[in-house]
Amino acid sequence: MNKIRGGFLAALYAKRLVRLYHLPFVEAEQRAESKFKFFGKHIHHLVFALVFTLIISPVTTPQKVGCFLLLSVGMLAGSCMGWGNYINAMIDGTIDKNRKDSIIADGIFFGLCDWPVLAGFIALSFRGLMWTSLLIISLFVIALSDILISSESFLIFPIGFLMGSAYLLAMEICQRIPGMVRGNGWQVGEYFWGFILWGSLAYLIKA
């Protein structure tokens, strides 16, 4: 699902357009993004809310609806701000000073312009922390709504700091695999980070 949020459906559709209609990939990608980019981002947080509502298992129907809405809003808020500039810096050492992703993380990022890879790593790690802090708010409200949820669930907060490590590790691995380049770490990192975020929360809720 994290990969779908990152444009997986659009990429599949673009490849289909190239194969069937022999379009240039750039044109096919633009068409695909206009159809699927918005859908992919929102299906991501809705599926997240559904999965974790089932894991938390609230008793009554109003509780289930409330839990679903709170988790959906928490994931949407956590994932809505960008981080592409940070990842680009980690890949090729470039910093686009005209691009703005997340105000707080941008402050860290642009303050370390002399070390772009380090700047991207630290900003992305902090961005992950911002993501999980917003999820914590949803979990806290759920806990206040007489829905049984383990206190260990709140340990998801520091795990957000692993976002930078997930993408950096993927880049370092891809860079060393024949036929791949460091930039492939962005796509592979989607799976790494999704596994860490979703897997950790599922484990902690069930703890």
Task: Determine the pLDDT at residue 38.
Answer: 87
pLDDT tens digits along 73-124: 999 999 999 999 999 999 999 999 899 999 889 999 999 999 999 999 999 9
| Sequence-separated (6 or more) residues with CB below 8 Å from residue 1 | 43, 44, 47, 48, 194, 198
| Sequence-separated (6 or more) residues with CB below 8 Å from residue 65 | none
pLDDT tens digits along 141-156: 999 998 989 899 999 9
pLDDT at 69 over 90: yes
Residue 60 burial (C-beta neighbours within 10 Å; 0-12, 13-18, 19+): exposed
For 26, the token pair is 């750039």
Single pTM value for the model: 0.92
Average pLDDT of span 35-64: 94
pLDDT at 207 over 80: no
Task: Determine the pLDDT at residue 160.
Answer: 97
Average pLDDT of span 11-16: 92
